[in-house]
Amino acid sequence: MSVSFVPVPVGSDFPLENLPYAVFSTKSNPTHRLCVAIGEHVLDLKAVSHLFAPALQAALQADTLNLLMSLGHEAWDEVRTQTQKLLLKGSEVELNVDLRSLALVPQAEISLHLPAHIGDYTDFYSSIHHATNVGIMFRGADNALMPNWRHLPVGYHGRASSVVVSGTPIRRPLGQTLPEGAEKPVFGACKLLDFELEMAFFIGGPGNQLGEPIKVDDAWKNVFGFSLMNDWSARDIQKWEYVPLGPFTAKNLGTTISPWVVTTAALKPFLLDNFPQDPEVLPYLKQTLPFNFDINLEVSLKPANDNETLISKSNFKHLYWTPLQQIAHHTVTGCNLRPGDLMASGTISGETPDSYGSLLELCWRGTKTVELQGGKTRKFLQDYDEVIIRGHCEKNGLRIGFGTCAGQVLPAHPVDQ
In 3-state terms, what secondary structure has residue 31?
A: coil
Identity (one letter) of the amino acid at 411? P
Backbone angles phi, psi at 74, to 5 degrees: -65, -40
* Beta-strand pair 386-395/255-257: unpaired
CA distance 14 to 401: 6
In 3-state terms, what secondary structure has residue 367?
A: coil
Query: What's CA 298's distance to the chain center, in Å?
Result: 13
Query: Are 296 and 393 in contact, with CB atoms under 8 Å apart?
Result: yes
- Closest by CA to 402, choosing from 316, 317, 302, 275, is 316
Cis peptide before 244 (omega within 30 of 0): yes
Backbone angles phi, psi at 331, to 5 degrees: -100, 0
318 is catalytic: no
**What's 374's DSSP letter?**
G
Q: What is the Rg, in whole angstroms, of the alpha carbon atoms belonging to the chain? A: 22
User: CB within 8 A of 21, min separation 6: which ones?
Assistant: 34, 35, 36, 65, 68, 115, 225, 260, 261, 263
CA distance 233 to 255: 9
In 3-state terms, what secondary structure has residue 222?
A: helix
User: CB within 8 A of 97, min separation 6: which ones?
Assistant: none
Instruction: Determine which helix (DSSP H) or strand (DSSP E) holds 67, and give its type and residue range.
Output: helix 66-70
Distances (CA, A) of 303 to 373, 402, 409: 10, 23, 10
> Which is catalytic among the residues 130, 318, 329, 392?
130
CA distance 359 to 387: 11
CA distance 384 to 149: 36
Q: End-to-end CA distance of the chain: give it in Å, rounded.
A: 67
What counts of helices (H) and strands (E) characterise the chain?
Answer: 10, 26
Measured at the CA of 318, the angle between CA 213 and CA 286, to 5 degrees, comes to 30
Q: Give me the active site residues, please.
A: 130
